[in-house]
Amino acid sequence: MLKKPETLFVLGYMLLPLLALLSAIVGLTMILGGNKIAGAVVLVVVTQVFAFGAFFALRARKAAVVEETKRG
């Protein structure tokens, strides 16, 4: 399922960037609300996990598309 280009497209272009944006908003809200350490952890760690996940999903999609075009 995670090797299909369509699934990787949804993950890389839609779902993971949206989750990165939402976690950045949550992290900034936590920092502004006074919970600085937890907000910084959410902002740095969680947001970057979603952002790099989107990057790797797009790379995997590109490889899957190239493999699919080679086969037929």
Residue 23 is encoded by which pair of tokens? 């976690």
pTM value is 0.86
- The domain segmentation of the chain, as residue ranges, is 5-71
41 Cβ partners below 8 Å, 6+ apart? 27
42 Cβ partners below 8 Å, 6+ apart? 23, 26, 27, 30
- Which phi and psi (to 5°) does residue 33 adopt? -80, -5
Tens-binned pLDDT, residue by residue, of the chain (72 aa): 778 999 999 999 999 999 999 999 999 999 999 999 999 999 999 999 999 999 999 999 999 999 988 987
39 Cβ partners below 8 Å, 6+ apart? 27, 28, 29, 30, 31, 32, 33
